[in-house]
Structure 1
Amino acid sequence: MRNAFNIVMRVVSTLLGLLLVCMGGVWILQGLNIAFKVGFMVNDKRWVVYGAILALVGVAQVVWSNTRQRA
């Protein structure tokens, strides 16, 4: 039972990390005025920085969830 829980939580954690990477990518694209040209984030360079930070957190989440020790 514990092993199944660990597998499910690893999958959930990985999906959460991928979602963060995608959100960060959208924020970067909006901040650079490349895509999704509607909203308050368009052509605002702060959102490029915020998106890059969020994408890095997402990558770290994916790496952490797939390389941690199996209990």
Structure 2
Amino acid sequence: MKARIIVAIGLLLAATGVLWTLQGLGIVGGSAMSGVTTWAVVGPVVVVVALVITYIGFRRLRG
């Protein structure tokens, strides 16, 4: 997989994790996920995984 695609996937996944966190905390409403604490826990985990994926992509871009 090309490094730019890996970075793009990582960034999109991070944005998704942030959205899930905000929905779980009840900051973003209008969804069945809003106010459900499960998403407030799952979201940050997804963000951490996404940051690792993005880091791997950036390392491949450099080298």
TM-score, normalization: structure 2? 0.88
Higher relative contact order, structure no. (Cα contacts within 8 Å, ≥ 6 residues apart)? 2
Task: Tell which structure's C-alpha radius of gyration is larger.
Answer: 1
- Per-residue deviation at 1:63? 0.6
Percent identity (aligned): 27
Q: Which runs of 5+ in 1 are unaligned?
A: 1-5
- Per-residue deviation at 1:28? 0.4
The count of corresponding residues between Structure 1 and Structure 2 is 62
Q: Which runs of 5+ in 2 are unaligned?
A: none
| RMSD after superposition | 1.7
Match of 2:8 in 1: 15
Distance, in Å, in 2 between the alignment partners of 1:20 and 1:49 is 15
Match of 1:49 in 2: 41
Distance, in Å, in 2 between the alignment partners of 1:16 and 1:43 is 27
Match of 1:60 in 2: 52
- Per-residue deviation at 1:40? 1.2
3-state SS of paired residue (1:14): helix
